[in-house]
Amino acid sequence: MYNSKITGLGYYVPENVITNDDLSKIMDTNDAWIQERTGIKERRHVVRGDGDTTTTMGVKAAKIAIERAKIDKDDIDFIVFATLSPDYYFPGPGVLVQRDLGIKTVGALDVRNQCSGFIYALSVADQFIKSGMYKNVLVIGSELHSHGLDMTTRGRGVSVIFGDGAGAAVLSRSEDKGKGMLSSHLHSEGQHAEELSLIAPGMGKRWVTDIIEDNDPNDESYYPHMNGQFVFKNAVVRFSEVIMEGLKKNSLKPEDIDLLVPHQANLRISQFIQNKFGLGNDQVFNNIMKYGNTTAASIPIALTEAWESGKVKDGDLVVLAAFGSGFTWGSVIIRW
Ligand code: UT7
């Protein structure tokens, strides 16, 4: 059996910064509320016409990750793309990345696990490498939220939180025993599917034909819905459980963690986990202040920034964890 390790990381965010004050000009919200409840100061929004899409942002992040992995794009054996905001209803963005990067006809898989999408995607890539099937897998998480949000007071509980951006990693075969991805842990609880969801268009409750026929400007079903407090309560429990599960699997303890990179859902959630595990400020990486919640992109953006700033060192125990819509949640334990 082979090991897999992250050999390259990259991220891309659009240049357009939207501050909390900018939002307060278009809806009934304010900087104090947003900072106190979420920790967010600003986020990035794609400007329509600039050419950025979920796929193009993913491609930009991927190019950096491939270069840093010191491989050629034609060394990529497989693509895994995690997003909840694909360019098209179908096909998914994986094949668009294959086309835009000009990679040979390798397989491309789309993962639809929202906030835990990148954890699921990494886990899939890890299995392909450990089984010996592939040597280099390109894993991308990218989201373009801003143009799918209800940017009125009605949608403020959701729209102030989410931002646009992309992150990518190259996961490669490694002969280094005891290093790389040690384990991944994935869970779901579909009982709460609608608590954080976007119902339409879909082939369930709101068909495309319903939306066209009704042509109702007050139809909220095509905006994301979140039962914020319920999601929050579940998040803190599941984050803790799945981090402990990963540590136990590897006979490790919370004090062995060098760096925890949690999905950037809410600064209060990260701080709760930090306190629960008795971790110091330098042991938990947060950048939600700058980018908001970028869903599947949040972990690879944060991991890349942590790595770029020298916070991820050879031999470190790095823990990634996420919770979100589905509900789905998961963790990845890495010996760097
Ligand atoms: O990444 C996927 C997983 N997502 C999460 O883990 C998110 C989990 N949930 C949360 O982060 C928090 O629940 C939120 C940040 C979404 C909301 O914070 P909260 O402290 O739970 O606030 P709330 O929803 O209970 O709302 C409190 C009040 C309400 O007013 P009333 O009913 O008390 O008068 C809301 O209408 O705050 C109001 N409110 C706002 N006020 C100003 C809601 N959104 C806003 C806003 N600006 N943007």
pLDDT category at 206 given cuts 50, 70, 90 is confident
Confidence check: pLDDT of 220 > 90: no
Q: Do domains 3-174 and 180-335 have the same CATH topology?
A: yes
CB 81 within 8 A of CB 58: yes
pLDDT of residue 19 exceeding 90: yes
Confidence of residue 205 (pLDDT cuts 50, 70, 90): confident
Q: Closest residue (by CA) to atom 30 of ligand 1?
A: 157
- Domain coordinates in residue numbering, the chain: 3-174, 180-335
Mean pLDDT of the chain: 96
- Ligand 1 atom 35, closest CA: 157
Ligand 1 pocket, CB under 6 A: 29, 33-34, 37-38, 115, 156-157, 160, 228-229, 231-232, 235, 265-266, 269, 293, 324
Q: Which pLDDT value is given to residue 219? A: 86
Among the options 263, 266, 286, 287, which is catalytic?
Answer: 263
- Centre of ligand 1 from the C-alpha of residue 225, in Å: 12
254 upstream amide cis, omega within 30 of 0:
no
- Ligand 1 atom nearest the C-alpha of 29 is 47
Q: Pick the range with the lowest mean pLDDT from 25-34, 117-126, 215-224.
A: 215-224
Residue 225: the pLDDT is: 94
**CA distances to 19, 86, 138, 300, 328 from 53, in Å:** 21, 8, 18, 17, 25
Tell me the mean pLDDT in the region 123-129.
Answer: 98
- Atom 26 of ligand 1: nearest residue by CA position: 157
Tell which one of 21, 28, 37 to mutate to probe ligand 1, the residue whose CB is within 8 A of the most ligand atoms.
37
Q: If you average pLDDT over residues 46-63, what whole number do you get?
A: 96
Structure tokens of 135? 């040597």
Cα 37 to averaged position of ligand 1 atoms, centre (Å): 7
Of residues 201 and 239, more confidently modeled = 239
Active-site residue flag, 187: no
Determine the distance separating the centroid of ligand 1 and the alpha carbon of 233, expressed in angstroms: 12
> Given this model, what pLDDT does residue 157 score?
96
Q: Is 218 a catalytic residue?
A: no
The second-level CATH assignment, the architecture, of 180-335 is 3-Layer(aba) Sandwich (3.40)
pLDDT value at residue 152 = 95
Residue 172 tokens read as 């490669």
Structure tokens at 103: 């990679």
Ligand 1: which of 232, 273, 291, 327 to mutate, most ligand atoms within 8 Å of CB?
232
Per-residue confidence band for 75, with pLDDT thresholds at 50, 70 and 90: very high
The per-residue DSSP string of 114-138 comes to GGGHHHHHHHHHHHHHHTTS-SEEE
pLDDT at position 198? 94
The catalytic residue among 3, 45, 115, 266 is 115
pLDDT for 101 beyond 90: yes
Q: Which atom of ligand 1 is nearest to the CA of 38?
A: 15
Higher pLDDT, 50 or 299: 299
Q: Identify the CATH class of 3-174.
A: alpha beta
Which residues, in sequence order, are CB contacts of 15 under 8 Å at separation 6+?
44
pLDDT above 90: residue 323: yes
Average pLDDT over residues 124-136: 98
Q: How confident is the model at residue 221 (pLDDT cuts 50, 70, 90)?
A: confident
Under 8 Å between Cβ of 23 and 34: yes
**Is pLDDT of 217 > 90?**
no
Q: Is 293 a catalytic residue?
A: yes
Q: How far is CA 178 from CA 144, 191, 239, 250, in A?
A: 37, 37, 25, 11
Question: What pLDDT is stored for residue 23 in this prediction?
Answer: 98
Nearest 5°: the CA angle 23, 164, 54 is 140
Q: How many CA atoms lie within 13 A of 259 on its CB side?
A: 24
CA distances from 194 to 90, 105, 189, 205, 326 (A): 22, 37, 11, 11, 8
